[in-house]
């Protein structure tokens, strides 16, 4: 340090910290040989707290006066603890040696945490389950004296990085203990992350207080469940949807019929091959569902009607169907199903002409036979 700096800093009359680094939690005011002029101006800004320490002696009895936000003229009146330590009983006007530490009391946010490996939970539905969790948390300085004694020591600048790794590990380990106690079923963890975060905060806030810190919030951003549990959850969702599958199929049939009616180029083919049968089958299922609702509710479904076995039809070299009686009649009307069409149903050894099937003869009774060759 040059002579000018030595002379200009020997008796400091302004003590302040202009914070320019968002990661610094605690800053030690720099001055030559720790000499501060009696009557100097101490400025503590909003979001700061200042602590005066007797000549670098960090024992509990040497951490002296705490200054909240405001402007102070240092004197024996507003430094009662330091005055007592140094024995200034009758006033003191000479320069004195002391260290001043500034603490940032605003929140430090977006700090990451994660479980150190899976946490074992006992779930009433899935039994023993191993779960991981990740998220962010926020903290701030609550007790400057405790932070100074427990964390900072004589460090000139104490940053959030100096403690973040330690706190991340502490949270991760504590969460493994807390997860089995939060009382939220595994299947509900992802939908109740705010509740889980609040429970975690309540359980581990005390671990931060011993360092003079306040745990402000804990956000759970991701819950990792075992693959087999995720599959079970998906299957449960699918099973709940099966109850409406019949209505969904009927809706699809109606939509296809509407689209075909709006497209004349497709109407004939689709009505003849698929949509007509789909609509008839869907409507038949709908009427059957309505007529047999009491029986279905009682668990007693009637057997198929005699002769109601559905048929497949060969249309332009492709298989279409199966079609119930009503749908087959529609195919006859629009010319898709003729006496010479090949058909097949369960129990037949091979495809055969429709005219050879006894239970289909009545479908063609109202239709004229083919014209004889010219």
17-24 mean pLDDT? 88
Question: How far apart are alpha carbons 222 and 357 in whole angstroms?
Answer: 63
Pick from 116-120, 124-128, 164-168, 176-180 the range whose average pLDDT is largest. 164-168
pLDDT band at 168 (very low <50, low <70, confident <90, very high): confident
Report the C-alpha gap between 145 and 67 in whole angstroms. 11
260: confidence class by pLDDT, cuts 50, 70, 90 = low
Tokens of 49: 């707290």
User: Is pLDDT of 240 > 60?
Assistant: no
Range 108-230 classified under CATH 3.30.479.30? yes
**Mean predicted confidence (pLDDT) in 313-328:** 81
Q: What phi and psi, each to the nearest 5 degrees, are found at residue 15?
A: -115, 115
Torsion 71-74-76-82 (CA) sign: positive
CA proximity to 204, closest of 109, 108, 110, 113: 113
- Average pLDDT over the chain reads 75
At 89, is the pLDDT very low, low, confident or very high (cuts 50, 70, 90)? low
Count of CB atoms situated within 10 Å of the CB of 85? 19
Q: 3-class DSSP state for residue 252?
A: helix
Considering all CA atoms of the chain, what is the largest pairwise distance in Å, rounded to the nearest integer?
140
Coil, strand, or helix at residue 123? Answer: strand
Say which residue, 35 or 221, is predicted with more confidence. 221
What lies within 8 Å, CB to CB, of 298 at 6+ separation is none
Sequence-distant (≥ 6) Cβ neighbours of residue 367 within 8 angstroms: 332
The pLDDT value given to residue 141: 95
- This prediction's pTM: 0.55
If we measure between CA atoms, which residue out of 329, 292, 290 comes closest to residue 313?
A: 329
For the chain, domain boundaries: 3-104, 108-230, 246-291+308-364
Look at 99-108, 174-183, 248-257, 271-280 and tell me which has the smallest mean pLDDT.
271-280
pLDDT band at 7 (very low <50, low <70, confident <90, very high): very low
Q: What is the pLDDT of residue 344?
A: 87
Q: Which tokens hold the place of 183?
A: 């009382």
**Averaged pLDDT, 350-371:** 77
Query: Which residue is it, tokens 């698929």?
Result: 274
Q: What is the pLDDT of residue 102?
A: 94
pLDDT at 24: 94
Question: How much is the average pLDDT of 159-168?
Answer: 88
pLDDT category of residue 56 using cuts at 50, 70 and 90: low
Q: Which residue has the higher pLDDT, 14 or 248?
A: 14
Average pLDDT value for residue range 331-346: 83
Express each pLDDT in 223-235 by its tens digit.
Answer: 888 777 777 766 6
Pairing of strands 119-123, 157-159: unpaired
Phi, psi of 316 (to 5 degrees): 55, 45
Distances (CA, A) of 153 to 60, 146, 211: 12, 10, 12
Residue 106's pLDDT is 93
Please give the pLDDT value at position 116: 76
Chain-centroid distance, C-alpha 106:
27
Name which residue leads in pLDDT, 33 or 214.
214
pLDDT of 64 > 60? The answer is yes
The helix (run of H) or strand (run of E) holding residue 146 is helix 144-147
Cα–Cα distance measured from residue 75 to residue 156, given in angstroms and rounded to the nearest whole number: 25
């Amino acid at each position: 340090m040059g002579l000018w700096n030595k002379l200009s800093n020997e008796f400091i009359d302004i003590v302040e910290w202009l914070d320019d680094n968002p990661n610094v939690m605690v800053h030690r005011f720099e001055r030559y040989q720790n000499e501060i002029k009696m009557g100097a101006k101490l400025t503590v800004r909003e979001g700061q707290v200042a602590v005066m320490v007797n000549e670098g002696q960090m024992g509990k009895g040497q951490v002296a006066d705490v200054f909240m936000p405001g402007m102070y003229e240092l004197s024996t009146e507003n430094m009662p603890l330091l005055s007592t330590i140094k024995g200034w009983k009758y006033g003191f006007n000479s320069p004195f040696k002391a260290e001043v530490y500034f603490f940032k009391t605003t929140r430090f946010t977006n700090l990451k945490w994660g479980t150190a490996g899976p946490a074992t939970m006992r779930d009433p539905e899935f039994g023993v389950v191993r779960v991981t969790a990740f998220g962010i948390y926020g903290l701030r300085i609550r007790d400057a004296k405790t932070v100074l004694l427990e964390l900072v020591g004589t460090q000139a600048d104490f940053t959030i990085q100096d403690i973040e790794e330690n706190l991340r590990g502490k949270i991760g380990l504590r969460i493994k203990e807390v997860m089995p106690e939060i009382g939220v079923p595994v299947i509900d963890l992802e939908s109740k992350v705010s509740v889980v975060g609040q429970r975690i905060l309540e359980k581990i806030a005390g671990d931060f207080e011993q360092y003079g810190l306040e745990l402000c919030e804990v956000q759970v951003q991701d819950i990792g469940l075992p693959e087999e549990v995720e599959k079970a959850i998906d299957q449960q969702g699918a099973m709940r949807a099966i109850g409406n599958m019949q209505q969904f199929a009927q809706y699809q049939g109606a939509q296809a019929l509407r689209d075909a009616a709006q497209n004349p180029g497709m109407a004939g083919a689709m009505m003849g091959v698929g949509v007509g049968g789909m609509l008839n089958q869907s409507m038949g299922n709908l009427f059957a569902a309505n007529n047999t609702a009491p029986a279905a509710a009682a668990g007693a479904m009637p057997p198929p009607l005699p002769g109601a076995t559905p048929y497949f039809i060969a249309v332009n070299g492709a298989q279409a169907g199966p079609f119930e009686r009503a749908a087959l009649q529609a195919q006859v009307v629009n010319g898709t199903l003729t006496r010479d069409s090949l058909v097949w149903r369960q129990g037949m050894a091979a495809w055969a002409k429709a005219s050879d099937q006894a239970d289909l003869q009545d479908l063609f009774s109202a239709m004229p036979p083919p014209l004889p060759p010219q």
